[in-house]
Amino acid sequence: QAKTPTKEDTEFRAYAHSEIARDAATIKNSVVMHLTATFLRTPDSMDSGHAYLASAFSVRDRLLQRWNLTNEYHDKIGAKRVYYMSLEFLVGRTFDNALLALQLRDEYAGVLGDVGFCLEDIIDEERDAALGNGGLGRLAACYVDSLACMNYPGWGYGLRYRYGMFQQQIINGYQVEAPDCWLDSPNPWEFPRPDVTYPVKFYGHLERDAAVPNRFKWVSDVVYDAMAFDMPVPGYGTANVGNVRLWSCKTNGLFDLNKFNAGDYQGATGGQVAAQMLTNVLYPNDNTNGGKELRLRQEYLFCSATLQDIVARFKRTGRPLADLPDMAAIQLNDTHPTLGIPELMRILIDDEGLEWDAAWGITTRTFAFTNHTVLPEAMEKWPVPMMDRILPRHMGIIYDINMFFLQRVEKQFPGDRELLRNVSVIEESNPQQVRMAFLACVGSHRVNGVAAIHSDIIKQTIFHDFVRVLGEDKFTNKTNGVAPRRWMNECNPEMSALITEVVGDRSWVTDLTKVRALEGRAGDSEFCRRWWAAKQSNKRRLAEYILATTGIRVSPDALFDVQAKRIHEYKRQLMNILGVIYRYHRLKQMSAAERAQELPRVVVFAGKAAAGYWVAKQAIKLINAVAEVVNSDAEIGDVLKVVFIPDYSVTAAEHIVPASDISQHISTAGTEASGTSNMKFVLNGGIILGTVDGANIEIGEEIGDEQIFFFGCLAHEVADFRHYLRFHEPKPDAALQAAFDMIQRNTFGDAHTFQPLIDSILRGGDVYLLSVDFPSYIEAHKAVEAAYRQHDDWVTKSILSVARMAKFSSDRAIQEYAEEIWNIEPVPVGGHAV
Ligand code: BZD
């Protein structure tokens, strides 16, 4: 527990609060200093790229001071920290976020304006840090933002990939991947820490310690050095600055001079290349488990460096190791960092000399685990022979963890062989596999899902037997949330200004319960007019962005209907585009006069498919093929436009999300654990068209049924439908059949290209139940249209939705984790700077 601050602490806080200079002259000096001393430029030869870098470095100086103070303070008072371990942090840009957090945006705009630059253009110079695939990685970024803003002592731990999420190009309608060389230009938002480096071992063999049972000496064949890079996380309106520590594999020292001298130039650098590979690329899969050896080595490098660092920091307190759980909580963001559990056991037993039981008690009290998926293909499993070869000591520890666990199960449920087989961490397949979700579950004191329905489903499915064995209390729900800083205040300044006006100040940015005040204005016609004007200007901006990125001209007066997320069969972009095709079919059958009565609509898609996910990539091709035909059909004009925005990213989302009228979250019920973009769209005054799945359900509960358009079968009905469809051909309704027919008449190019997509429904068992949900999907679209035509009511819905969305702030989620899982308390440094 954190100690009560002394007088000295209070003075320390006052110091932390005081040191940021805000006057134009000081800011200008610091920008010019970086321009000249860091980048060897003069103010006269400054282009916008260097204006960005110099400004960013000067902002980072300000963060740095606070970063140091925050960590010094937390160490000094002995605060318990949470460590959020995630293979992904999808941060996006930092400059604007930092300016807003430090409340220096106007000041920098002024200084840059004086030398002829527009702040918005300078902000656009920054490249996204795209160290994540999608929801899980962005959640990690929102959570470290909340930790910093709410003054919780906590760090993120991750990997510093040299190539982040690939860049998506659309060539001839197909997705083509290009590397994301985001570190090509200097990155102001990281601090290399060559002094924080740990050796990480791989391969080799074990030597038993004859004196002590259970203790081994691991003699490895290969040792790599993991070096830390720290990314500051600006806390909004507080002096606290959080930290994400990312590991990069060092290559220095791996150059083989002997080979070089012997003329073997390639051999001389072979070790460096192998080391570099470890932290070179982010695996671009979401919700699939590739089973690649390099990925397992990445995961271990990450876990080993992180646990060594956490233990080293703890040991500096001088407290006995038994106290580790009182000083550190470790959250596993899905199973990817699960090797942290056997790694901590290895450190405690082999390096620190603890007994098994003591080590196990410390480990399980320290770790907690979040599950993000129920898709079977996403479950991480590693072949035992692979694990044994790469990490022989960890394989031994996992066997022992499993043995002790199964002994306990056997005692509780004597003779239940089936139960033992079902809960075993080792799957008895050929080859045997380590089930990482089970290991994470056994080695943690809490397991949580990410939305109420999902947390229920995991208790009934993958962890069903664990609930019997370990008790219901171990399993809990922590519904996801998103950061209002980025997903409202930063991306939607006009709507934010209106909220600030109603609330009276900007306090809602760190206390979203205050947006409730909007309820009182939902019936105020003047306020509604201004609310709509903000939405309209966001739509105009998106129309410009669409023109710039695709060359397609869309009318901001049309209804903007958006689906922006990873492309995945379970998310059913295919159902969306089939709905578009059906709409096109109907429009083509109408007279010009009838068409003129239709509600003009722009259907926007954005998202990346995993490079090896063929059907998902075919869906992208179909979307682009439909777009090409529909958009150039003179008869159709503005009544229907279809757009695929390439290279979806955090920054693209910041353009897209504030401009939606409706957004689609249409996963087959029971498949989307939570979804977080659903929250972002509603927080920006958009209306959801969605299935009864993930966090859609809780959003509906909060904002009221009138504010959300649900359709489709329910999660508990899915199994029966799937069973039926395994043995019976689906019967498409007339609308779905019309869409198939249009494709098969080569309307969108050679029908053979798209036949596999149709076959996935008609001949592949329709696993995601498109044929089942399509009729109600089309009905829901009609309901949306009718509602949109009632303009005043629509705007009221939009305002009421935002007013009732406080639950979906990541601040609420983090507070729940802090109180119910981590047992940590806020420790403000420097008081509130607002
Ligand atoms: O996590 C997503 C889920 O699909 C969403 O429903 C949920 O809202 C978010 C946050 O909880 N899962 C992912 O994004 N998963 C991955 O990106 C991923 C990455 C690597 C390996 C496996 C999954």
Per-position DSSP letters for 672-740, written without gaps between them? -S--SHHHHHHHTT-EEEEES-HHHHHHHHHH-GGGEEEES--HHHHHHHHHHHHHS-----HHHHHHH
CA-closest candidate to residue 634, choices 595, 580, 691:
595
Q: Which CATH number is 539-808 given? A: 3.40.50.2000
Inter-CA distances, 502 with 244, 519, 526, 533, 801, Å? 35, 10, 13, 16, 15
Average pLDDT over residues 357-381: 96
Same fold, 78-93+128-479+817-822 and 539-808: yes
337 lines ligand 1 (CB under 6 A): no
| Six token digits for residue 113 | 């304006």
Q: How much of the chain is in helix, strand and coil states, percent to nearest 5?
A: 55, 15, 30
Higher pLDDT, 289 or 647: 647
573 lines ligand 1 (CB under 6 A): no
Q: Give the CA radius of gyration of the chain.
A: 27
662 lines ligand 1 (CB under 6 A): no
135 lines ligand 1 (CB under 6 A): yes
Q: Tell me: pLDDT of 4 over 80.
A: no
Give the residue, out of 159, 373, 608, with the most ligand 1 atoms within 8 A of its beta carbon, to mutate for a pocket test.
Answer: 373
**How many other C-beta atoms are found inside a 10 Å radius of the C-beta of residue 710?**
18
Q: Tell me: pLDDT of 530 over 60.
A: yes
Query: What pLDDT score does 832 carry?
Result: 41
678 lines ligand 1 (CB under 6 A): no
* Per-residue pLDDT tens digits for 674-712: 999 999 999 999 999 999 999 999 999 999 999 999 999
Give 540: exposed, middle or buried? Use CB within 10 Å, 0-12, 13-18, 19+: middle
Ligand 1: residue whose CA is nearest its atom 19:
286
Is 292 considered catalytic here?
A: no
CA-closest candidate to residue 482, choices 808, 244, 97:
808
Is 585 considered catalytic here?
A: no
Q: Tell me: pLDDT of 136 over 60.
A: yes
Ligand 1: residue whose CA is nearest its atom 8:
675
Is 565 considered catalytic here?
A: yes
Q: What confidence category does residue 765 fall into, taking pLDDT thresholds of 50, 70 and 90? A: very high
Average pLDDT over residues 780-804: 98
Query: Cis ω on the peptide bond leading into residue 232 (within 30° of 0)?
Result: no
Average pLDDT over residues 390-399: 98
Inter-CA distances, 484 with 142, 168, 671, 802, Å? 9, 28, 26, 11
**How many other C-beta atoms are found inside a 10 Å radius of the C-beta of residue 22?**
12
Q: Tell me: pLDDT of 1 over 50.
A: no
Is 306 considered catalytic here?
A: no
According to DSSP, the residues that pair with 663 across neighbouring strands are 562, 688
Q: Catalytic pick from 571, 583, 595, 621? A: 571
Query: What pLDDT score does 230 carry?
Result: 98
Ligand 1: residue whose CA is nearest its atom 10:
136
Average pLDDT over residues 527-550: 98
Average pLDDT over residues 8-34: 75
Determine the Cα angle at 117 with ends 114 and 121, to 5°. 150
Q: Tell me: pLDDT of 13 over 70.
A: no
Query: What pLDDT score does 364 carry?
Result: 98
| Span from the CA of 797 to the centroid of ligand 1 (angstroms) | 29
* Per-residue pLDDT tens digits for 60-84: 999 998 899 899 999 989 999 999 9
85 lines ligand 1 (CB under 6 A): no
Using DSSP's 3-state secondary structure scheme, residue 567 falls into: coil
| Span from the CA of 578 to the centroid of ligand 1 (angstroms) | 25
Query: What pLDDT score does 63 carry?
Result: 92
What's the chain's average pLDDT? 95
Average pLDDT over residues 311-335: 98
Is 566 considered catalytic here?
A: yes
Looking from the CA of residue 673, the nearest atom of ligand 1 is 6
Q: Catalytic pick from 62, 565, 641, 804? A: 565
Query: What pLDDT score does 211 carry?
Result: 81
* Per-residue pLDDT tens digits for 29-64: 999 999 999 999 998 889 999 999 999 999 999 999
User: In the chain, what percentage of residues exceed pLDDT 90?
Assistant: 90
Query: What pLDDT score does 6 carry?
Result: 59
165 lines ligand 1 (CB under 6 A): no
Task: Give the H/E segment covering residue 29.
Answer: helix 24-33
284 lines ligand 1 (CB under 6 A): no
480 lines ligand 1 (CB under 6 A): yes
Residue whose tokens read 């072949």: 383
| Six token digits for residue 699 | 């959003």
Q: Tell me: pLDDT of 10 over 80.
A: no
| Span from the CA of 130 to the centroid of ligand 1 (angstroms) | 15
450 lines ligand 1 (CB under 6 A): yes
Looking from the CA of residue 676, the nearest atom of ligand 1 is 8
| Six token digits for residue 395 | 């394989």
pTM of the model: 0.97
Q: How far apart are CA 829 and CA 806, in angstroms?
A: 26
Inter-CA distances, 219 with 8, 214, 353, 354, 524, Å? 48, 16, 17, 20, 73
624 lines ligand 1 (CB under 6 A): no
Q: Tell me: pLDDT of 795 over 80.
A: yes
Q: Catalytic pick from 676, 691, 796, 797? A: 676
Q: How far apart are CA 716 and CA 125, in angstroms?
A: 48
Return the domain boundaries, the chain.
Answer: 78-93+128-479+817-822, 539-808
Query: What pLDDT score does 252 carry?
Result: 79
| Span from the CA of 823 to the centroid of ligand 1 (angstroms) | 25
Query: What pLDDT score does 828 carry?
Result: 87
Inter-CA distances, 756 with 354, 610, 666, Å? 57, 18, 21
Q: How far apart are CA 229 and CA 243, in angstroms?
A: 10
Determine the Cα angle at 424 with ends 422 and 429, to 5°. 80
What superfamily does domain 78-93+128-479+817-822 belong to in CATH?
Glycogen Phosphorylase B; (3.40.50.2000)
| Span from the CA of 136 to the centroid of ligand 1 (angstroms) | 4
Is ipTM beyond 0.95?
A: yes
Average pLDDT over residues 22-34: 93
Q: Tell me: pLDDT of 14 over 60.
A: no
Is 571 considered catalytic here?
A: yes
Contacts of 540 by beta carbon, 8 Å cutoff, 6+ apart: 556
Determine the Cα angle at 553 with ends 549 and 554, to 5°. 110
Could you give the angle at which helices 614-631 and 573-589 cross, rounded to 10 degrees?
20
Query: What pLDDT score does 15 carry?
Result: 56
197 lines ligand 1 (CB under 6 A): no
